[in-house]
Structure 1
Amino acid sequence: MYESENNREDSERTAFRRTEKKYKLYFDNNASSKNKKNKQPKPVDLTEDKFSSPVFSLQNHPGFYFIPGALSLEKQCDLIRESLTEFPQPPNRTNHNAIYGPIHNLFVAAKEGKVLVEEKSAITSHECSSDLNCRGGEEWKFFTEKEASLRKCRSVSGSSLLRKLRWSTLGLQFDWSNRNYNVSLQHNKIPEALCELAKQLAKPALPAGVEFQPEAAIVNYFASGDTLGGHLDDMEADWSKPIVSLSLGCKAIFLLGGKSREDAPLAMFLRSGDVVLMAGEARECFHGVPRIFTDKENAEIGHLETHLRQEDDLCFLKYIQTSRININIRQVF
């Protein structure tokens, strides 16, 4: 489309036109060659720009937002590492606490082929502190396979425990038995980097000037065949604040239903790096994950496989090739 000289001058005063010029391809006029094919393009400064992913909402599900590819490849890999090494660390609780008590350095123990062994202890249940793996007069410790074989006690391999890891809780600890947040349980604040990420991602679901305050998070670990049944996340005080849900690893099917289990749900794919926000009316909708794809053809994690090729990352790659991790961050009060 052509424009007059006056129109061109006017357009150059607009913000859109100025931004067009900023990113447009220009060639170095000082180049000796007059042939454009041989000229070098001028560099463009992208250091201050943050290219954001599109945000999709659904007409029949107000408060639901889908942000595909919201997490950079580097951020995905960082969160996978943290989800396996830092997030299950005590005082954060996991599904293993009920049987084994707090387990320190589970991922390292699994990587090193260690075995968790039950040992009889003189410590009684009321003397047990939160940093001991003990239940009554029992205490669980990691040993090498050779050391474990010398102890005629109950044992379980670290690799088996890692594969059976299903959830860990960050920040305020969720009490699964009573279905509430137990503020009396020892806990650390959610890591600052994860807090800042959640605050930025939550903005599309909040009115201007309102800030999301992350206080708790649940990290779900899915292996092949694992599912998450249809449910509501209804234990937080203010449902206008979103749940910020991050997907990592193998592709999953996500079901978003209505306010009744009788409402037929919408099925959609969630891939590594995708983010979902659920606030307001969407908080009243049943949702779940009936399947993850761990086969090479459908898992869609080639970008992760390409990035996690350093020797130190091979153990993370091996895990995520057959797993999905979901981090959902909440404002409790």
Structure 2
Amino acid sequence: MTTPKPAFANTAFQPHLSRRQQKKALFEKAAREQAGYANDTAFRRVERQYRSRVPPPDLTDVLDFRPGAPNTPALAARIVPIALDTEDSNGYWAGLGASPPTQGYMVRNFPGLIVIPGCFAPDVQRRLIKDCLRRYAVPPAKSNLDALYLTPPEGLWNRYKREGAGEAKPEPVTRIVPTPATEKGKEDEPTAVTAGALIPRLRWVTLGYQYNWSAKEYFLDAPQPFPAPIGQLARAVVGSIHDVGYVAADGPDLISSPRHTWLSSSAEPADEPTGYVHRYDPAGYEPEAGVINFYQARDSLMAHVDRSEQNMEAPLVSVSLGNTAIFVIGDESRDTPPLSMYLRSGDIVCMCGPRRRALHGIPRVLEDTLPDYLTSTDDVLAEDFEWDSFAAYMTTTRININVRQVFNKDRQPPSGGIEP
């Protein structure tokens, strides 16, 4: 029996252009470059490079943290392996049904960035993806669709699945903002759309303290409980990276832990004289707000700084799921060329110390990079019989879970707290 395709199965991006389309794209690109750009900073040039479709971008300078990855010698020399804390955080990882990671990476001349690649087993990744869609993308959590549509109380994914299973009568999601045609009197009522057709339009959902994107500040009068599983995940990560770092061979003796890595004496003179050790105490960490981003194939997130939190010392924890993305991160200036790296499904990035205030973004989601264990192969479906519809959605999707601490430890936030 053939499984019917979900409503969003035909939204896959087709990256192949005809020869005529390629010539047109190259002509338009040359015209833009000749005219110049109003925002021609070093950071913006890197973003434009990776967003280019024709010609395709050169990925030589994209850092790859996978063991044995084909990095250039210059890039490979910047990668610093670090041993993670597997003792104090072990209880949190066990509660997630995951094994604690033992190794992460930092980058020379780039203090504050910690990367833990391939942190989650395939079954844990699938569970996180399912939770993002059917557990967290549900009112009263706010989403980008709230300004246009009246989201069903059960959430779009749950409505779509119940209608598909015949458990609920198919019912369109009402558009609460008229279309331009409606405003001109060409239609009597605002248009409605099915839940399945709206799912690919979902771009973000906020967790915990809800965020006012227009005012760039948090709504503090009606905090939502922060999801316990995501809070536990963030605590596990913050515990794992405590007191990890690297020390330059000719720097002062900062070695007080087996989790401090010596740089070789052949380190270039440009390296930091002392290195970097992440010192934020996990006992003071409280996951209070977060954003789940849902990227489709042509989506991007331009350079920005997450600066609305009172506490800018706690690490920002980010988890990648689905298709691979190119992540760029610099410092506080747009005139500094950013570091570029791959973020694959199951990777974790922590922005700590000086990197917490750094410009960063996602200029590109790479098509057709979904791992086999997130597709609907027979082996995967044998382990997870309900994965088929999720696999169809993830074909063109990347999900990012981003967690922040909003308040300082001595600041008593409004009631709400962590979901039990």
Q: CA-to-partner distance for each residue in 1:67-99, whole Å, 9 max, x for gaps?
A: 111122222111100111111111100001112
Q: Answer yes or no: is the 8 Å Cα contact 1:214–1:331 preserved in 2.
A: yes
Match of residue 225 from structure 2: 189
**C-alpha distance in 2, partners of 1:118/1:200?**
40
Q: Answer yes or no: is the 8 Å Cα contact 1:95–1:167 preserved in 2.
A: yes
Q: What secondary structure is seen at the aligned counterpart in 2 of 1:108?
A: helix
Q: 1:316 to 1:214 in 2, by over 3 A?
A: same
Match of 2:342 among 237, 248, 269: 269
Q: What secondary structure is seen at the aligned counterpart in 2 of 1:168?
A: strand
Match of residue 140 from structure 2: 91
TM-score by length of 2: 0.56
Match of residue 163 from structure 1: 200
1:177 aligns with 2:233: no
Match of 2:373 among 299, 303, 307: 303
- 1:93 is matched by which residue type in structure 2? K
CA positional deviation for 1:302 = 1.2
Deviates more, 1:304-313 or 1:244-253: 304-313
Q: What secondary structure is seen at the aligned counterpart in 2 of 1:65?
A: strand
CA positional deviation for 1:216 = 0.6
Match of 2:158 among 105, 108, 119: 108
Q: Answer yes or no: is the 8 Å Cα contact 1:53–1:69 preserved in 2.
A: no
Q: Answer yes or no: is the 8 Å Cα contact 2:329–2:359 preserved in 1.
A: yes
**C-alpha distance in 2, partners of 1:206/1:91?**
36
- 1:97 is matched by which residue type in structure 2? D
Match of residue 313 from structure 2: 240
1:199 aligns with 2:235: yes
CA positional deviation for 1:152 = 6.8
Q: Answer yes or no: is the 8 Å Cα contact 2:365–2:398 preserved in 1.
A: yes
**C-alpha distance in 1, partners of 2:305/2:282?**
27
Q: 1:315 to 1:53 in 2, by over 3 A?
A: farther
TM-score by length of 1: 0.70
Q: Which runs of 5+ in 2 are unaligned?
A: 1-97, 165-169, 179-187, 242-277, 408-420
User: What are the residue-to-residue correspondences of 1:278-297 with 2, within 5 Å?
Assistant: 278-295=351-368
Match of 1:221 among 283, 294, 297: 294
Q: 1:300 to 1:312 in 2, by over 3 A?
A: closer
Match of residue 14 from structure 1: none
**C-alpha distance in 2, partners of 1:59/1:235?**
28
User: What are the residue-to-residue correspondences of 1:128-167 with 2, within 5 Å?
Assistant: 154-167=191-204
Q: 1:237 to 1:308 in 2, by over 3 A?
A: farther
Q: Answer yes or no: is the 8 Å Cα contact 2:295–2:399 preserved in 1.
A: yes
CA positional deviation for 1:313 = 1.4
CA positional deviation for 1:161 = 1.1
Match of residue 331 from structure 1: 405
CA positional deviation for 1:59 = 2.4
Q: CA-to-partner distance for each residue in 1:18-57, whole Å, 9 max, x for gaps?
A: xxxxxxxxxxxxxxxxxxxxxxxxxxxxxxx945241111
**C-alpha distance in 2, partners of 1:292/1:275?**
16
Q: What secondary structure is seen at the aligned counterpart in 2 of 1:55?
A: strand
**C-alpha distance in 2, partners of 1:61/1:270?**
17
1:73 aligns with 2:108: no
Structure whose alpha-carbon radius of gyration is higher: 1
**C-alpha distance in 2, partners of 1:101/1:77?**
28
Q: What secondary structure is seen at the aligned counterpart in 2 of 1:196?
A: helix
Q: Answer yes or no: is the 8 Å Cα contact 2:107–2:113 preserved in 1.
A: yes
Match of residue 316 from structure 1: 390
CA positional deviation for 1:103 = 3.2
Structure (1 or 2) with the greater strand fraction? 1
More relative contact order, 1 or 2 (CA 8 Å, 6+ apart): 2
- 1:116 is matched by which residue type in structure 2? P
Q: CA-to-partner distance for each residue in 1:297-320, whole Å, 9 max, x for gaps?
A: xx0411222564244111111111
Match of 1:61 among 110, 114, 120: 110
CA positional deviation for 1:63 = 1.5
Q: Answer yes or no: is the 8 Å Cα contact 2:290–2:404 preserved in 1.
A: yes
Q: Answer yes or no: is the 8 Å Cα contact 1:77–1:308 preserved in 2.
A: no
Q: What secondary structure is seen at the aligned counterpart in 1 of 2:148?
A: helix
CA positional deviation for 1:173 = 0.2
Q: Answer yes or no: is the 8 Å Cα contact 1:206–1:241 preserved in 2.
A: no
